[in-house]
Amino acid sequence: MKKKELIFVLLLFVAAALFYGVTAYQKKASDVAAISIDGTLWKEVSLSEDGTYTIETPQGYNIVQIQKHTAAVIEADCPDQLCVQQKSIKQPHEMIVCLPHKVVVEIK
């Protein structure tokens, strides 16, 4: 079988697990999601208050929903819909990206 290649991939898994082990170790609980458009901060929203925010960009809109301390993009008019398909986020560093609209939602 493809033993060498399989071992190579498994080594990659171990390296990534170590990286995330280290970042998880440094992790603090977070309460803020930062929403930015084209690299500039648009709004910081609290994760403890449920609500929806509509982000208007020159290219289109995204609707971010905050619910039970998680953030998710529930609607957008971008062609690929990748941001909507993405899982909701709650851990620090996690982010949702909408490339067509250059929108980034990041947990601080």
Partner 1 sequence: MDSRKIAYCALLSAVALLLGYVERLLAVPMVVPGMKLGLANVVVLLALYLFDAKTALGISLVRILLSGFVFTGFASFLYSGAGAMLSFLAMAAFQKTKRFSMVYVSIIGGMSHNIGQMIFACIAVENIRLLYYLPILLVIGGATGFLTGIVGEKTIVYLKY
| DSSP-derived secondary structure letter, 89 | B
Least CB distance to partner 1 at residue 54 (A): 19
Least CB distance to partner 1 at residue 36 (A): 7
Reading the block at residue 42, the tokens are: 């648009």
Query: CA-to-CA distance for 75 and 60, rounded, in angstroms?
Result: 11
* Consecutive H or E run containing 91: none
Residues lying near partner 1 in the complex (CB under 8 A) are found at 2, 4-6, 8-9, 12-13, 15-16, 19-20, 23, 36, 38-39, 78-80, 82-83, 85-87, 93, 95-97, 99-100, 102-104, 106
Reading the block at residue 22, the tokens are: 């280290």
Q: Which is nearer to partner 1, 32 or 99 (CB)?
A: 99
